[in-house]
A and B are shown apart, each in its own frame.
Chain A
């Protein structure tokens, strides 16, 4: 009988044994997470798509070196984050100042922002944060990775990750306030 659900390990074995089509299932499973993580770091949709694709191509080519000591997703996110960060450095996507961040729509501060507006404002706030902050927040909220897994992906100590995550959230809250305040001012 044909197996309906394959584990990551099953799929990896199939790919390594020559069934390249099995990799399609892996890409389908993780594409939204990888694309989102990369997009948060790069803040440019077309570049993010290229980098997310590059991530999957790199992972495919290195699949035989995946030793299974960590989860496949952890290994894949590590490739994604490193590729995105090196792309960001290469393209010199520096952290922007509040004045540089353009916000076109109006917003109500009373918590009734629409989903699209929320995403837009969140992305603007991310653009004001540093590389480490964006990486911490993205990994923590994207797929509920544990602090240990985040430590493995980022090469930081687990204790350090907790502190960095706390600071990143604090800074994000400040940036969000700043953006909303500047937006409110522009309405006056």
Chain B
């Protein structure tokens, strides 16, 4: 068996005890073999560590929309954006209730301006995330 095949079998955990011993002995006694071993094990590790690439965030949604156009488009928001959306909804509700006069003045802890500002800020964050998510496909790294 040639040296490279022996090394690959060793790296794959696919060699007999005697072959394993041969590799380990050669690593001590043969400098050229050791260099080759280090090169091939570096390639082996590189492949093990770097082959899986994450699919784009909205991949599943796009597949689902192709197989069942009736299914809702699956847009994936982060947890942060989900909470922002909840907070925005609550603030909007408070704002509407205040405006409609359902909340007595002594219980109006936030001025209308602050509420509008908070709602606007939260919406901006949600819009930015939506935009970044849509851009994700184009800017995907290797």
Contacts and interface: CB of A to CB of B under 8 A. Distances in A.
Interface of A: 20-21, 23-24, 27-28, 31-36, 39-40, 45-46, 49, 52-53, 56-57, 60-61, 111, 115-116, 118-120, 122-123, 137-138, 141-142, 166, 169-170, 172-173, 176-177
Interface residues of B, number: 34
Given A27-B63, A122-B46, 4 more contacts: A34-B55, A53-B63, A115-B49, A172-B47
Interface string B98-136: 000000000000000000000000000000000000000
B40 interface: yes
Interface string B1-31: 0001100100000000000000000000000
Given A27-B60, A57-B67, A172 B43 contact: yes
B14 to A, nearest CB: 9
B32 interface: no
Contacts of B8: 166, 169
Contacts of A33: 52
A61 to B, nearest CB: 8
A116 to B, nearest CB: 7
A31 B40 contact: no
10 contacts: A21-B64, A24-B74, A28-B60, A31-B60, A53-B63, A116-B141, A122-B47, A122-B51, A166-B4, A172-B43
Given A115-B50, A138-B51, A141-B48, A20 B60 contact: no
Contact of A169 (B43, B52, B63, B141): B43
B47 A39 contact: no
A53 B44 CA distance: 29
A36 B52 contact: yes
A176 B43 contact: yes
Given A23-B67, A57-B67, A166-B8, A111 B50 contact: no
Interface string B38-77: 0110111011111111111001101110111001001000
Contact of A32 (B40, B42, B54): B54
Given A23-B64, A53-B59, A116 B51 contact: no
A32 B141 CA distance: 14
Contact of A53 (B47, B66, B68, B142): B66
Contacts of B40: 169, 173
B131 to A, nearest CB: 19
